[in-house]
Amino acid sequence: MKKIPNLKSPAFAASFAEVASATKTEKATAGRQNQKLKIDKKEALQKQVEELTNKWKRALADYQNLEKRIVSEKQEWIKFSNALLINKLLEVLDSLEMAEKHLNDQGLSLAIRQLKNILKEEGIEEMVLDCHKFDPNFMECVETVAGPLKIEIVRKGYLLNKKVLRPAKVKVGSPDKI
């Protein structure tokens, strides 16, 4: 048989007070640990939010840069998309200019002037070359001739939006050639 403790005894009261005190201490300790865990979780979540926000901002900036690059590449592509057609038109212009030299016809001169104006509106311009200095970026040497260094233009060169569309074909005088 079990002995039932005397609830009114001083020993039981002291024992109960001791247990109650220990429980309060444990609860207080547990509460502090709980608060610390909550604070740690909050800080971890704040760091995670900050990292994700930074990643999002970087991704957004990358996307905006990509959009800008695509727009500029598309504009460049549009500028130079008709280069083949324009090259063919320049061949026709060369033929018309040769015919004009021999015919001296005002109607032909007017048509050539109109064609040149249309090409100019599209960003085509005739190259202005220095006849005393060979520049391989703008000229293609088709022949070297004896004599002083002088450049004779055989076929005109053209630029499309400040880039070489067709290099000028030139004869270059070479003092070394006899």
| Domains in the chain, number | 2
Tens digit of each residue's pLDDT (9 = 90 or more) over 92-124? 999 999 999 899 889 999 999 999 999 999 889
Looking at 34, 50, 81, the residue that finishes a domain is: 81
What was the pLDDT predicted at 76?
A: 81
Residues 55 and 23 in one domain: yes
Whether 3 is covered by a domain: the verdict is no
Residue 41's pLDDT band (boundaries 50, 70, 90)?
confident
Residues 26 and 109 in one domain: no
Helix (H), strand (E), coil (C) string for the chain:
CCCCCCCCCHHHHHHHHHHHHHHHHHHHHHHHHHHHHHHHHHHHHHHHHHHHHHHHHHHHHHHHHHHHHHHHHHHHHHHHCCHHHHHHHHHHHHHHHHHHHHHCCHHHHHHHHHHHHHHHHCCEEECCCCCCCCCCCCEEEEEEEECCCCEEEEECCEEECCEEEECEEEEEEECCCC
Looking at 49, 81, 113, the residue that finishes a domain is: 81
pLDDT score of 146 more than 70: yes
Instruction: Tell me which residue range forms the domain holding 69.
Output: 15-81
Tens digit of each residue's pLDDT (9 = 90 or more) over 158-175? 998 888 999 999 998 876
Average pLDDT, stretch 72-89? 85
Q: The whole model's pTM is what? A: 0.57
